[in-house]
Amino acid sequence: MVRFFMKLFKALNSSQTPWQMSLALSLGMAMGLTPYSGIQTIVLIFIVLVVNMHVGLFLISSAFFAGIGYLFDPYFEQLGYALLNMEALDGVFTAFYNSALLRLTYFNNTIVLGSNVVAFILVLPMFFILNRVVYIYRDKIASKLQQYTILRKLGISVSDKKDKFFRVWGIGLFLILSVGVVLFSVLFLDALLKNAIEDNLTKILKKKVSIENLDVLLTEGKINIDNLHVADDKKAVVSTKNINIDIDLNQLLFKRYHIENINVSGMAFSKEVKPGLLYTGPSTTSSKVSPQIKEKSSEEGFKLPSLSLEDPKALIARMGLSSLGSFDATKEKISAINTKYKNIIENDFSKDELTKISSEIKDIQERLKSKDISSMLQLKEDVTALNKKIKAKKELLSRTKKEFSQDKNSIQQDYKDLTKGAAKDYNNLKSQYTFDSEGGVNIVGVLFGDKLKTYLGSFLKYYEIAKPYLKSGPKKTEQPIPPRGEGRWVAFKYTIPTVDFLIKSTNISGELQKQDFKLAVKDISSNQKLLKAPMTFLFSSDGDELKGLVAKGEDNHLKEHVKTTSSFSLVQGVLENTDMSFMNLKKAKYSFKGELNAEDYIKLNAQTKVLFSNVSLSLKKTDSKLMKSLAGVVSKIDNFDLDVKLNGSVENPEVSVKSNLDKKLSGVFSSVFENEVKKYQGELKALIDTQVKDKLKELGIEQEGFGDIDKLLNAQSLGLDNMQSSTNGIGDTIKNKAGDELKDKAKSLFKGF
């Protein structure tokens, strides 16, 4: 601490003038408060080196105010954010944003702008204040201190020597540092970039990424990569001989990534490499196999699915019976009806309710024995009230019986629908193995369809992964408040609008499974509407197995809906010694032509025509009448075709496959196999009928409760009828008895006269 103050006093008493020391402290404050980024930092360093100021004071001030700046970073960030979003300054910042030089100041970062504004506002006031303080110190304090001999020996004395304004050696040092940075870039940038790419890609891909050589030509904006390998623990998954990237450096200054060309040559897959290039990190292979999609090994040949009749029970288990769901719904409905009416009977027509009414009737009948005329009037009112109560019960019972009848009719209709549903299930399952309208069988079409759905599922899995990266247009997201020491970037409009990301041309060539291929992609961009051009691609491949394979198309975002279109064709492919389950395909040539259209990456529409020619087929077994008859037909088949159609959506694709091979076999099937099919259909129908009968029997047991409800409701109806008859009889008795009593009273009155 003492040494620090000694150095500080020596600096204050140095040969430099007060303004030189004040400038060092002020610029040190500016350096400390602002982040070390942008050309303003370079300018500050240049001034410190060239102007003859006290470097020690500059460094002390920078360190001190760096700590102050860290404490005030959140406030600098808020100030910068407020300034960058002021409408009054929008025009100024837009002009800055479109200037390559001013973009190098990083003014559109909130913490950079906020801290720079505060720092450079304080520079001048601090300079003048410190200048006055140093002047007063030297004039008033230092002159007194240097009178003491001990202090003069310690070096605390004002020097009369005056330094020059400029430091020539500072200019030289700045040039040396600049040249050093350039030389470092030339000598070490390639190696540093190469190591950074290898390390980061290895961590991301979990595979060893190695590059033999990497050259960066900063003046031309080119990167050249030789012999790149991406390897697992056994072999190189992907290898390239050369990758050449041409970057637009002018756009890079605006933080827009425009690549003029990417040329990749010598791409190869599953290539053997040296042991040192293999991945030795932890294995990421999952032991779990997807239950829906199994990856097809590259060594597997093309196999046609087997041609056989599925076991009826297995067919029902695989396809399911839609009517079974209706059975369960009807069962629940019956249970609900039973519960509903049992509750009504228990609550409104219980034995206690009817016993209570019977007791009231008996009570009235006992009171009827009285000869008091006044009690007759009360009895009449009680009978009227009881009649109303019985009438209300009868009306409720009538409504209940009507509703119950409607519910029973509904269940009967469900029975009919269930029977019809079973018939529909049968027809649906039967159609899996039946004759079409043209007289051919559709077995080949159905089985090919199932196989293609598996391949389609694998394709759509990768399509779903790629879909988010195909979407065009900027993503507007509100940036959260950053952590201390970091700022937010605010974008402004470009006076000459262009896309943020663009790969104008990509060309890839290489070999895949002994097939040479070329891929050319044009105009990969972040905003096609701004670029006014869709992404297009062209893929071609030639080799011994496939000749003239071509696929081309475009991904178009220019209109409201995204349209993805592609067409593909193959001149000739060769199949030899291919296992087709019950047949052997000794040789065949095939070609195809088709197109695929997608809308918004959801709706799908595709159709493909596959032609097989020069076909040589033979059966594996001829041990049955059917197979012997079929062998003669198969041996004469030299060509057939497949019509494949795809509709629906990515989530629910619908595949339809038809083949004229079915019709070629229809003669044999119609004479021999038709009987087998009918027998099979009979077994299927019997199995479905059995299941339906079992379910109907189960529903019948559930419905037995309806009979009990009927009996209870009818019994209640009869009981209420009897009670109403009794109350009506009591009413008549009361009326007659009251009349007789009145007559007797009248006679006794007239006898007195």
* Average pLDDT for the chain: 75
DSSP code per residue over 322-363: HHHHHHHHHHHHHHHHHHHHHHHHHHHS-HHHHHHHHHHHHH
Q: Give yes or no for residue 558 having a pLDDT over 60.
A: yes
Residue 122 confidence (pLDDT): 93
The single-letter DSSP state of residue 234 is: S
267 bridge partner residues: 510
Instruction: Please tell me the predicted confidence (pLDDT) of residue 703.
Output: 62
To which residue do tokens 């200048």 refer? 131
Distance of alpha carbon 358 from alpha carbon 351, whole angstroms? 10
Q: Are 479 and 488 in contact (CB under 8 A)?
A: yes
Q: Which residue has the tokens 């019960």?
A: 393
d(CA 523, CA 300): 36
How many residues does the structure list for the chain? 753
Say if CB 543 and CB 574 are below 8 A apart: no
pLDDT of residue 523: 92
Instruction: Write out pLDDT tens, residues 598-644.
Output: 888 788 899 999 898 988 877 776 666 666 767 777 778 888 888 88
| DSSP assignment letter at 276 | G
Nearest Cα to Cα of residue 702 among 403, 333, 422, 341:
333
pLDDT tens per residue across span 352-368 = 777 777 787 777 777 76
DSSP 487-512: --B-----SS---SEEEEEEEEEEEE
What pLDDT shows up at residue 436? 43
Encoded tokens for 66: 């760096």
Q: How many CB atoms lie within 10 A of CB 386?
A: 21
CB atoms within 10 A of CB 485: 12
Spell out the residues 6+ positions from residue 523 whose beta carbon is closer than 8 angstroms to its own: 502, 503, 504, 531, 533, 534, 535, 536
Give the lowest-confidence range in 307-321, 612-626, 672-686.
307-321
163 CB contacts (<8 Å, ≥6 apart)? Answer: 15, 16, 17, 20, 52
257-271 and 501-512 as β-strands: parallel, antiparallel, unpaired? parallel
Work out the percent of the chain whose per-residue pLDDT is above 90: 15
**pLDDT score recorded for residue 476:** 44
CA distance 10 to 156: 6
For 28, the token pair is 């040190």
Q: Are 530 and 498 in contact (CB under 8 A)?
A: yes
Q: Quote the CA–CA distance of 334 and 698 in Å, as a whole number.
A: 11
Write the CA distances from 344 to 347, 400, 402, 465, 556, integer angstroms.
5, 8, 13, 59, 66
Cα dist from 137 to 23, 114, 132, 143, whole Å: 16, 34, 9, 8
Q: Which of 21, 22, 26 is nearest to 44 (CA)?
A: 26
∠ CA 419-421-425, nearest 5°, is 120
DSSP notation for 178-208: HHHHHHHHHHHHHHHHHHHHHHHHHHHHTSE
Task: Give the CA distances from residue 566 to residues 15, 93, 502, 598, 604, in Å, rounded to whole numbers and listed in that order.
Answer: 80, 44, 22, 9, 12
Give the pLDDT confidence of 519-536 residue by residue, as tens digits.
999 999 888 888 889 999
Q: Phi then psi for 353, rounded to 5 degrees?
A: -65, -50
**CB-neighbour burial class of residue 547 (10 A; exposed 0-12, middle 13-18, buried 19+):** middle
pLDDT tens digit string along 61-109? Answer: 899 999 898 889 989 999 999 999 999 999 999 998 888 788 888 888 8
Q: Which of 124-133, 426-435, 648-657 is least confident?
A: 426-435
Burial label for 733, CB within 10 Å (0-12, 13-18, 19+), is middle
SS3 for 128-139, per residue?
HHHHHHHHHHHH
Indicate if the pLDDT at residue 154 is higher than 60: no
- Distance separating alpha carbons of residues 588 and 119, to the nearest angstrom: 80
Cα separation of 653 and 76, whole Å?
55
* Calpha distance 106→84 (Å, rounded): 12
Per-residue pLDDT tens over the stretch 657-668: 787 776 666 665
pTM confidence score: 0.55
pLDDT over threshold 70, residue 50: yes
Report the Cα 193 to chain-centroid distance in Å.
Answer: 34
Residue where the block lists tokens 């009948």: 365
Joined tokens for residue 190: 């390639």
> Which residue's entry shows tokens 């067919």?
315
pLDDT band at 200 (very low <50, low <70, confident <90, very high): confident
Per DSSP, the three-state class of 160 is coil
Q: At what angle do helices 322-348 and 373-430 cross, to 10 degrees?
A: 170
Q: What integer pLDDT is reported at residue 304 of this predicted model? A: 33
pLDDT tens-digit map of 690-739: 777 776 676 666 666 667 677 777 777 777 777 777 777 777 676 666 66
In order of 22, 66, 89, 101, 369, the CA distances from 41 in angstroms are 19, 14, 24, 14, 122
Report how far residue 592's alpha carbon sits from residue 579's, in angstroms, rounded to the nearest whole number. 21
What is the DSSP code (8-state) at residue 431? G
C-alpha 40/C-alpha 34 separation (Å) is 10
Do 628 and 619 touch, CB atoms closer than 8 A? no
Let me know: does 699 contact 417? Beta carbons within 8 Å: no
3 state DSSP class of 644: strand
Query: 447-487, pLDDT tens digit by residue?
Result: 455 555 555 565 665 556 555 555 554 444 455 666 666 78
